[in-house]
Amino acid sequence: MIGPKDVGYFTLYDLKGSKLAGSVFNILFNLNKFMAFETRDPFLIRQERENPTLTEWDRFAHREYIRLSMEEDAEDASNGSADVWDESLEAPF
């Protein structure tokens, strides 16, 4: 994870130069954070890498919007109201 210059040991310089130094410390000293690191969602990690300017709130809002729109589409399809037009509601010519 750290990628030290010498394979036998790592130095403080190696830790400071690594982007994953925080994860290394969490793995060594904090069991809860280690478990969170091990069970992280690869889909969310990919999203973070694709657009690093989005905040956690922006990602949450986007996921919820997609989830709610999918639920609404499924509800419309189950009711049959998506493709059915009631001709009795049309205005007479």
Verify that 46 and 31 share a domain, yes or no.
no
CA distances from 69 to 34, 76, 84 (A): 34, 10, 19
Q: Which domain holds residue 64?
A: 41-82
Maximum mean pLDDT: which of 42-46, 54-58, 86-90: 54-58
Averaged pLDDT of the chain: 77
DSSP 53: T
With respect to residue 92, please indicate whether it lies within any of the assigned structural domains: no
Verify that 21 and 46 share a domain, yes or no.
no
Entry pTM: 0.37
How far is the C-alpha of 6 from the C-alpha of 42, rounded, in Å? 30
